[in-house]
């Protein structure tokens, strides 16, 4: 198996451990990742809030660069915000030739042309459907029979394009978590919004959303995520949230490849567990 790889800006910064664990995990499963050369930012949620055309031009530039690469036409994206921006261009340009023309007028500045030939895949999509639980099960060295996990999907890998999961009641992580022996924490918060960048500009609103998620996760040993923004919002403000709600809502928050990788016997160093902002003592004792 071989994919083009677009890590995106967060994975070079606040989500370094998502990048490291994704690469280690994929290597262990003999999946080749060819990182896009000289990749640029997809525009995150900021481009869309300032210019519609820019919010499509930036990801189109990335996809046009991807089309120039040899080997495969599938591009793997771990960050949900990057995934949606790239997916949006893939979907919109296919349905709207006029828009595609406009995008190509812009890309001419970079001497590139976007043909719409690459397929954008979220990391979770690839792990759940291409790799699959059976292959992961066969690699388990360290089954987590004592752990109960709350799968957290967030928004943008599910909506508005429901490619690999039910956008209302997502389940795609469950067979993967069960494949490593762990149980699923029953909850209905997996597809609820974490507040995204409101955490910086409107913290009182985002804290409310994250508090509700952490409260619903009580009883689980960890929340597993597939997006750097969700991960940061769930892990970085726990102290503040515990103080405000006067409850112990501390919770271990791990990226999916970190969690599956641990069960497959990959080391904490390789998976960069040292970079996570919230791994509780209780969780470590159960490993």
Q: Which residues bind other proteins (CB under 8 A)?
A: 9, 12-16, 38-41, 43-55, 57-58, 61, 102, 105-107, 109-110, 155-156, 159-160, 162, 167-168, 192-193, 195-198, 200-202, 204-206, 208-209, 236, 274-275, 277
Q: Which is nearer to other proteins, 182 or 199 (CB)?
A: 199
CB of residue 252 to other proteins, shortest distance in Å = 16
Residue with token string 């915000």: 81
Q: Which is nearer to other proteins, 4 or 263 (CB)?
A: 4
CB-nearer residue toward other proteins: 144 or 255: 255
Task: Quote the least distance from Cβ 141 to other proteins, whole Å.
Answer: 28
Task: Provide the CB-side half-sphere exposure for 68 (13 A, CA).
Answer: 16
Q: Which residues does residue 222 pair with via DSSP β-bridges, in sequence order? A: 149, 252
Closest distance of CB 179 from other proteins, Å: 29
Q: Shortest approach of other proteins to residue 194 CB, angstroms?
A: 8
Residue 52 or 219 with smaller CB distance to other proteins: 52
Residue 32, classed as helix, strand or coil, is strand
Cβ at position 135, least distance to other proteins in Å:
31
3-state helix, strand, coil in the chain (%, to 5): 50, 10, 40
In angstroms, give the least distance from the CB of 108 to other proteins: 8
Q: Contact 103/114 with Cβ under 8 angstroms?
A: yes
Q: By C-alpha distance, which of 236, 210, 228, 234 is closest to 83?
A: 228
How many angstroms separate the CA atoms of 226 and 211, rounded? 19
Q: What element of type H or E holds 183? A: strand 183-184
Length of the chain as a residue count: 287
Which of the 8 DSSP states describes residue 65? H
39 vs 144, beta carbon nearer other proteins: 39
Closer residue to other proteins in complex, CB, 26/47: 47
Q: How many other C-beta atoms lie within 10 A of the C-beta of residue 228? A: 25
Place of tokens 């960050």: 79
């Amino acid at each position: 198996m071989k994919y083009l790889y677009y890590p995106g800006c967060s994975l070079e910064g606040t989500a370094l451990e998502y990048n490291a664990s994704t690469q280690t995990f994929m290597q262990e499963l003999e999946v080749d990742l060819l990182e896009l050369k000289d990749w640029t930012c997809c525009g995150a949620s900021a481009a869309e809030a300032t210019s519609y055309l820019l919010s499509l031009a930036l990801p189109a530039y990335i996809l046009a660069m991807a089309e120039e690469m040899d080997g495969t036409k599938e591009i793997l994206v771990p960050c949900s915000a990057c995934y949606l921006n790239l997916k949006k261009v893939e979907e919109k340009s296919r349905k709207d030739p006029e828009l595609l023309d406009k995008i190509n007028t812009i890309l001419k500045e970079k001497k590139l042309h976007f043909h719409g030939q690459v397929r954008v895949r979220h990391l979770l999509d690839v792990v759940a459907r291409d790799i699959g639980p059976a292959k992961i099960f066969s690699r388990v060295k360290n089954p987590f029979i004592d752990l109960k996990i709350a799968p957290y999907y967030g928004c943008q890998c599910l909506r508005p394009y429901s490619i690999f999961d039910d956008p209302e009641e997502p389940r795609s992580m469950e067979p993967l978590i069960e494949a490593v022996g762990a149980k699923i924490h029953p909850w209905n918060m997996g597809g609820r919004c974490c507040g995204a960048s409101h955490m910086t500009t409107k913290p009182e609103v985002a804290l409310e959303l994250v508090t509700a998620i952490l409260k619903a996760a009580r009883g689980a040993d960890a929340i597993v995520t597939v997006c750097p923004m969700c991960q940061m919002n769930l892990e970085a403000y726990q102290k503040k949230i515990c103080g405000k709600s006067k409850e112990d809502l501390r919770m271990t928050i791990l990226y999916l490849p970190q969690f599956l990788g641990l069960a497959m016997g990959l080391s904490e160093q390789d998976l960069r567990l040292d970079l996570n902002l919230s791994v509780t003592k209780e969780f470590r004792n159960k490993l």
